[in-house]
Amino acid sequence: MSHTNLAELQAAESRLMLQTYARYPMMFVSGEGVYLRDEQGSDYLDLLSGIGVSALGYNHPAITRALTEQAQQLIHTSNLFYHRGTTELALRLTEITGLDRVFLCNSGTEAWEAAMKLARANAALLNSEGRHLGTKFIAMVSSFHGRTMGSVSTPHKALYREPFAPLIPGVEFIAMNDVAALRAAFSDEVCGIAIECLQGEGGINPVSEEFLTVARELCDATGALLILDEIQSGMGRTGKWCAYQHYAVRPDVTTLAKPLAGGVPIGAMLCTDAAARAITPGMHGTTFGGNPLAVAVAIAVIDEIKRANLLDHVNEVGGYFHAQLLALQSKHEAIKQVRGLGLMIGIELHSADLAKTILGEMQQRRILLNRTHETVLRFLPPYLITREHVDQTLSALDELLTQHSSVITDAHQTLAPRT
């Protein structure tokens, strides 16, 4: 039995699938450039790119070429054997992140899981060398890092953690950018500090230079690892390869995933040589991680971002987008704040209900974005969008905000965001 139209599919999914997502009532069948096409043949301007994944848009020749050529040669051999792709990708990843060593896996949460395990193993190694380091982590309020049983201990939102308790113990949440709280929470009992330099799911919140610098100093003093999650903000999204490159701070560990292979599942954990001493053969691994197919596409994505100067483009169009949104804010009281870097942008509204309404009406106008942290409209478009796409979006937002100008705030913000 095949479910060809949306209504049939909805009915079948509600019966057959674990209900982890409340999907929007839309079904896409193809994509080209920055547009997605639904089953009726209508095109949507995609300003979300599969939650920050399809950075090169859809049907990009560099990706389809790498995929088809590699699929004809070799899809998988396992990590028991060598293939050329891993070192070629590792060379590129170490060059763009400034870190020394790479572990390849299949998703963001797996990369984060590896980072947490590395922090624990690093503590154990230092303890064996006569130093003292405990097993605690410091994580940030409004953070998001993943959903496996280990990594789910560090996202802040109760819905993600509490149903699965007991989680790994000793994770202390502090408000990002509260330097006094960071100093108070830190001691040699801490093995890692976890930060997103630009929080994604938490509402597009930037870390301050001072906070990041203090986190670096504290970790340097004890040997704990500074772990910067670049799963959403990395790979050029903010106009640099990693968001931490906007700051004068080098982490011990970073994690990449989402756009790394343009939509083919992959994750990467990178670390310094010093931290890498803690892992020896057999301690950690994955069957699929670093498989030739995903690796070939990741290489193609990095080379295309370089070839087409997409970091410059992200800075240029992102700067324009941001400036236009600030102009919109000066016109509409409903906008509380515009935040972000490059093409990772959030508009915080005063009202969660209004944010939900605007999102739905933008979808009716065939422009896709999403809402996170209740009140924040989030844009994670493909890097290929142009000023014309920004203008089209801004004029739609302007019209909708004018139309709903009576709704500025609401007392009850109870709607669940999607991730």
Ligand X SMILES: Cc1ncc(COP(=O)(O)O)c(C=O)c1O
- Report the interface residues with ligand X, using CB under 6 A: 107-109, 112, 144-146, 196, 200-201, 229, 231-232, 257, 419
For residue 8, the minimal CB distance to ligand X (Å) is: 28
For residue 145, the minimal CB distance to ligand X (Å) is: 5
In whole angstroms, give the CA distance from residue 102 to residue 93.
Answer: 8
For residue 196, the minimal CB distance to ligand X (Å) is: 5
Residue 326: phi and psi, rounded to 5, are -65, -40
Residue number with CB closer to ligand X (200 or 289): 200
- What torsion do the CA atoms of 397, 398, 403, 407 make, to the nearest 10 degrees? 80
For residue 376, the minimal CB distance to ligand X (Å) is: 14
For residue 149, the minimal CB distance to ligand X (Å) is: 13
HEC string of 110-173 equals: HHHHHHHHHHHHHHHHHHHCCCCCCCEEEEECCCCCCCCCCHHHCCCCHHHHHHHCCCCCCEEE
Residue number with CB closer to ligand X (212 or 397): 212
For residue 380, the minimal CB distance to ligand X (Å) is: 10
- CB closest to ligand X, residue no: 108
For residue 370, the minimal CB distance to ligand X (Å) is: 11
Residue number with CB closer to ligand X (116 or 125): 116
Residue number with CB closer to ligand X (145 or 246): 145
For residue 206, the minimal CB distance to ligand X (Å) is: 13
Residue number with CB closer to ligand X (66 or 111): 111
- Report the chain's terminal Cα–Cα distance, integer Å: 30
Residue number with CB closer to ligand X (145 or 156): 145
In whole angstroms, give the CA distance from residue 105 to residue 342.
Answer: 27
Residue number with CB closer to ligand X (96 or 334): 96
Cβ atoms of residues 257 and 55 within 8 Å: no
Residue number with CB closer to ligand X (257 or 335): 257
Residue number with CB closer to ligand X (372 or 393): 372
Cβ atoms of residues 274 and 252 within 8 Å: yes
For residue 304, the minimal CB distance to ligand X (Å) is: 21
Beta strands (DSSP E) in 196-314 are 198-199, 205-206, 225-229, 253-256, 267-271
Question: How many residues does this entry show for the chain?
Answer: 419
Instruction: Say which residues have a Cβ less than 8 Å from residue 179's Cβ, sequence separation at least 6.
Output: 210, 211, 214
Dihedral angle sign, alpha carbons of residues 213, 217, 218, 223:
positive
Residue number with CB closer to ligand X (232 or 315): 232
What are the b/e assignments for 339-355, b being 16+ CB within 10 Å? bbbbbbbbbbbbbbbbb
For residue 180, the minimal CB distance to ligand X (Å) is: 25
* Angle at 50 (CA atoms; ends 44, 52), nearest 5 degrees: 120
Q: What would the two tokens of residue 79 be?
A: 């990590």
| Nearest residue to 229 (alpha-carbon basis) of 303, 142, 170, 301 | 142
| Nearest residue to 113 (alpha-carbon basis) of 380, 200, 121 | 121
